[in-house]
Amino acid sequence: MPYTSEAERGYVVACHVVANIPIDEIAARPEVNMCPRTIKRWVSRFNLTGFEGLRTLPKSGRNRVTTPEQDAAIVAAIRRQHRVPASTTRTAEFEDLDVGRSTFYNR
């Protein structure tokens, strides 16, 4: 499960808390197939704060500085000038955008 919903987390935690199934056994189930450490973390959060502890937590890192439309414009500009370095494309066409050179490389 690369991404789990709150309902899936609730199912996994309930298997342990309500049904008393060992965490290692839950983790090995084909429909779960995840690291026991992750399940232990969820059970711990559930024990501390109840169902609120199973909610998706805010992600770390900086928020995106460009909109999807700006991303599409950046990609289109780089494809038009595919032999020109991204840093040159950045300065020439997108002077009004307050983004770093890495934004152009990562798009």
Q: Kindly report, residue by residue over 30-66, the tens digit of the pLDDT.
A: 989 899 999 999 999 999 999 998 998 787 887 777 8
Please, are residues 75 and 107 in contact by the beta-carbon 8 Å criterion?
Answer: yes
pTM over 0.75: no
Residue 106: what residue type?
N
> Regarding predicted confidence, which is higher, 34 or 107?
34
Number of CB atoms found within 10 A of residue 70's CB: 16
Q: Torsion angle of alpha carbons 25, 26, 27, 29, nearest 10°? A: 90
Q: Kindly report, residue by residue over 75-93, the tens digit of the pLDDT.
A: 887 777 766 666 666 556 6
Please, are residues 101 and 72 in contact by the beta-carbon 8 Å criterion?
Answer: no
User: What does the domain layout of the chain look like in residue ranges?
Assistant: 6-54, 68-106
